[in-house]
Amino acid sequence: MTTDIKEKNEYIIQELLILESFLDLNLKDLPKRLLFRQLFILIDDFLIWAPRLINFLFRNSSIDRNERDNLKLIIAKVKKEYDNKFSTIRDKLSAHHQPIEFLSLIECIFKIQYSTIQILIDDINIFYDLIKDKTNLAYSKPVNNTQFKDPIIDSNAEKMYSVSSSRLAHSTDDTVGMLPFHETQEKGSLIVSIIDSLDYMIRILIETNTQNSPGKNLILGLIINDTISFLENLFNNNQYDRSLVSIWKKNHYRGVSLLESFERDEKLEEELIYLRNKFCSHIDDTETLNTLKTKIQNININALINYIEKLINIYNRACKMQIQTIMMIFSREQLIGVLGLSSKEEYKPLDDTNCV
């Protein structure tokens, strides 16, 4: 077997098992759901690299035709589930942050659900277990005893109610969400959702690293994807949407010049774009796994977090420059004296087995 195929399949199953180890930890539903966005990136990788493994084993006579066909059936089952239900999560919320219709967004978030996660991981685990003795793939489920003590992400912390302009606010049971009615509000809502996602993932990364728990590359990969999406949504027009700067220019908003004055770190952004495109959003076939892992391990996490904080700061300052944009910075603003939210009957918790 070529080393590349073996190592990349090993990496996929090991990362899935690390991700699975977070399922029962004390994370609130939304940060846990945002963490499990990585599942759909890894499934996309599995659908690319697992068939290559089968083909090699069959050509090498390590598996017979019946074994090959049975393995293909598992891949086909995973692919059908992924294509029909979950590919949008990867494309619009994980590898990228792109516009999506409001109800479809909420549906996507609620699809990230305990039993669904477990079924998908189990199916892929069965695939690799069937060929483990024929390939010498080295993987195992890690022990993860992380205790999240940060009250923002700790599921055992006292519930606090808040208001937010994030497009994710409507997928929680403790937040009043705003509905955007203008393109500037829609873009602001998307950007605040990226800021929220970055905040959650950085908090999880810090506590995971502090306790020497598994999952650093997995979490860092999501942070890298989110950071590039943040930059793209602020500054770059593309085939899916216009940038915030472009939309604000059209509407003659005051914050444009401040945003355009932001001093970009081209070297850091180049490193992040490379990793997003080659490793974090999918595992590239032109680079070895060791090369990719070395590059992500060489990322200066403190410098990355500092750069994210500078981006958030310049965005907030720009939004505060006029009344039409100031609402676009609301992110988990605490509602004092609120004891509950009566309009959250449709909320679907992560462990609700009836919401698949």
pLDDT digit string (tens) for 273-289?
999 999 999 999 999 99
- Higher pLDDT: 286 or 355? It is 286
Residue 175: strand pairing partners: 162
Does residue 331 surpass a pLDDT of 90? no
User: Smallest Cα–Cα separation from 352: which of 113, 134, 174?
Assistant: 113
Task: Give the DSSP H/E element, type plus range, for residue 156.
Answer: none
175 and 120, same structural domain?
Answer: no
Average pLDDT across the chain, whole number: 92
Say which residue the tokens 């009043």 belong to.
176
**180 lies in a domain?**
yes
- Please give the C-alpha separations between residue 200 and each of 90, 220, 303, in angstroms, as whole numbers: 18, 12, 18
Using CA of residue 119, residue 125, residue 128, residue 131, what is the dihedral sign?
A: negative
pLDDT at 95: 92
In the listed set 120, 135, 150, which residue is the last one of a domain according to the structure? 135
Q: What is the pLDDT of residues 222-265, one digit of tens each?
A: 999 999 999 999 999 988 899 999 999 999 999 999 999 999 99
Q: What is the pTM of this model?
A: 0.94
pLDDT at 132: 87
- Higher pLDDT: 327 or 28? It is 28
**342 lies in a domain?**
no
Kindly state the average pLDDT of the residues 282-304: 95
Percent with pLDDT over 70 in the chain: 96
**114 lies in a domain?**
yes
Task: Give the DSSP H/E element, type plus range, for residue 336.
Answer: none
9 and 120, same structural domain?
Answer: yes
**347 lies in a domain?**
no
177 and 44, same structural domain?
Answer: no
User: Smallest Cα–Cα separation from 90: which of 129, 165, 40, 32?
Assistant: 40
326 and 235, same structural domain?
Answer: yes
For residue 175, count other CB atoms closer than 10 A to its CB.
Answer: 23
pLDDT at 342: 67
As given in the structure block, the two tokens for residue 66 are 């019946």
15 and 55, same structural domain?
Answer: yes
pLDDT at 353: 53
100 and 172, same structural domain?
Answer: no
Side-chain-side CA neighbours of residue 84 (13 Å): 7
In the listed set 135, 170, 203, which residue is the last one of a domain according to the structure? 135
119 and 180, same structural domain?
Answer: no
343: confidence class by pLDDT, cuts 50, 70, 90: low
How do beta strands 162-164 and 175-177 pair? Answer: parallel
237 and 189, same structural domain?
Answer: yes
DSSP string for residues in 197-219: HHHHHHHHHHHHHHTT-S-HHHH
CA distance 86 to 71: 21
Alpha helix locations (H) across the chain? 3-20, 29-35, 38-59, 65-81, 87-89, 102-111, 114-135, 183-210, 216-235, 244-250, 256-260, 266-275, 289-297, 301-319, 323-326
pLDDT at 138: 87
Does residue 352 surpass a pLDDT of 90? no
Does residue 70 surpass a pLDDT of 60? yes
271 and 204, same structural domain?
Answer: yes
Which residue range is the domain that position 219 belongs to? 162-334
355: confidence class by pLDDT, cuts 50, 70, 90: very low
Q: Which of 69-78, 89-98, 115-124, 326-335 has the lowest mean pLDDT?
A: 326-335
pLDDT at 356: 41
**50 lies in a domain?**
yes
**145 lies in a domain?**
no
193 and 120, same structural domain?
Answer: no
Does residue 118 surpass a pLDDT of 80? yes
- Output the CA angle 92-93-97, nearest 5 degrees: 70
**42 lies in a domain?**
yes
Does residue 62 surpass a pLDDT of 60? yes
Q: What is the pLDDT of residues 10-21, one digit of tens each?
A: 999 999 999 999
254 and 313, same structural domain?
Answer: yes
166 and 21, same structural domain?
Answer: no
Kindly state the average pLDDT of the residues 328-333: 82
**What is the total count of domains within the chain?**
2
**351 lies in a domain?**
no
pLDDT at 55: 94
